[in-house]
Amino acid sequence: MEYSIASDLPTPALVVDVDAFNKNCAAMDAIRPDAQLRPHVKAFKSTSVARRLADQGHRGFCAATPAEIEGMAKAGLGHDLLLANESLDLARLGKLDANVTVAVDSDAILDAAVAGGVRSVLIDIDVGLPRCGCDKVQGARLAERARKAGLEVRGVMGYEGHLMMTVDRAERIDKVGQAMEILAAAHAEIGGDIVSAGGTGTFDTNTWCTELQAGSYCLMDTHYSELDLPFEQALAVVATIVSVSPKGWIIGNAGLKAFGMDHGSPTWDGPGKVLFCSDEHVTLRPDNLSDFAVGDRVVLHPGHVDPTVAKHENMWLINGDLANEGTLVDQWPVDLRHW
């Protein structure tokens, strides 16, 4: 199907550059093939994307919400699913015809797993990010409780999210190593085959984990592009210019409801700059106002993939230059958006 970015797609449209997507997958697979990568579906929230990654050898996935786990199981992708997040809403997962493991860092979460019929757990260890996780003493006690309750303790997990954006590579390697020493010490106490950790920002500097929890790498965002990573911007939002002001700015129809803004405003290849976003609008100041008219299309790259994807119902997979013309290859439903 041929399409012109200037007229055919309804906007705001979430689009994926298929060439960049494939390059990103290849770059990750060169370092983390097969089971060494457990893709995190919270980044792309689409079983269509997950199925592509499964076809590339990554059959185990992690997720952030029970609904993501349910959606993956319903799509026949339930070979090995990890809820890499604490939840009390676990009875719905114990009912699934899928191999589901959940993260546990407290008695309350473990009790919910047991009562909900979940069959296996990873003990979530605090490795420095002020979020979920327990210390190794608590972890060892929880592991013993879990085994006595008949659950399989598959190992440990720990997320060094506070180190994902450490720009200096040598510093990143050193600090990730310190975080993983904590996780390794806990693993020695707890046992199991799995040490699950990491993300896109530490995909090649975390050499201690047995499996990497990365998801943003395949689509990428401008936040991660600040690092020395071999991944390209594959995700963008196409907006239509709906107003041109003689005072020097243009308005596109994609604003706060189209972008995750926690990592800053989207970027525009220009020529010009992004001034700000409001609910339904993005205000741009082009270098040459006369180059733009109402009805033109602009391509903007989000600062944060995960919440941006969650704001859209579909991704449009495009082969060709997003700023001009290309071929619409596929449409990926964002079918894992909910909780």
DSSP 3-state assignment of 106? coil
Q: Do 175 and 166 contact (CB within 8 A), yes or no?
A: yes
pLDDT for position 320: 80
Which of 27, 43, 40, 336 lies closest to 198, judged by CA? 40
Give tens-digit pLDDT for 293-315.
999 999 999 999 999 999 999 99
Alpha helices (runs of H) in the chain, residue ranges in sequence order: 18-31, 47-55, 66-74, 91-94, 107-116, 136-148, 169-190, 305-309
Give tens-digit pLDDT for 15-35.
999 999 999 999 999 999 999
Q: Residue 14 — left, alpha, or beta (φ > 0 → left; ψ -120 to 50 → alpha)?
A: beta
Give tens-digit pLDDT for 252-262.
999 999 999 99
| Percent of all residues in the chain with a pLDDT value above 70, rounded to a whole number | 97
Give tens-digit pLDDT for 98-157.
999 999 999 999 999 999 999 999 999 999 999 999 999 999 999 999 999 999 999 999
pLDDT for position 203: 97
Cα separation, 195 vs 140, in Å, equals 15
**Cα dihedral across residues 62, 65, 66, 70: positive or negative:** negative
Asked if the model's pLDDT at residue 87 lies above 60, the reply is yes
pLDDT for position 7: 58
Pair type for strands 272-277 and 282-286: antiparallel
DSSP string computed for 146-176? HHHTT-EEEEEEE--GGGTT--SHHHHHHHH
Residue 207 contacts by C-beta under 8 Å, 6 or more apart in sequence? none
DSSP 3-state assignment of 103? strand
pLDDT for position 326: 74
Asked if the model's pLDDT at residue 6 lies above 60, the reply is no
State phi, psi for 220 to the nearest 5 degrees.
70, 160
pLDDT for position 50: 98
Is this structure's pTM higher than 0.85? yes
Asked if the model's pLDDT at residue 73 lies above 80, the reply is yes
Q: Do 72 and 336 contact (CB within 8 A), yes or no?
A: yes
Residue 275 contacts by C-beta under 8 Å, 6 or more apart in sequence? 249, 283, 284, 285
**Cα dihedral across residues 138, 142, 148, 149: positive or negative:** positive
Cα separation, 195 vs 184, in Å, equals 8
Domain boundaries, the chain: 2-15+231-333, 33-213
Assigned CATH class of 2-15+231-333: mainly beta
Pick the CATH number of 33-213 from 3.20.20.10, 3.30.70.20, 3.30.70.260, 3.30.930.10: 3.20.20.10
Which amino acid, residue 246? P
Asked if the model's pLDDT at residue 4 lies above 60, the reply is no
Asked if the model's pLDDT at residue 1 lies above 50, the reply is no
pLDDT for position 5: 55
Give tens-digit pLDDT for 183-215.
999 999 999 999 999 999 999 999 999 999 999
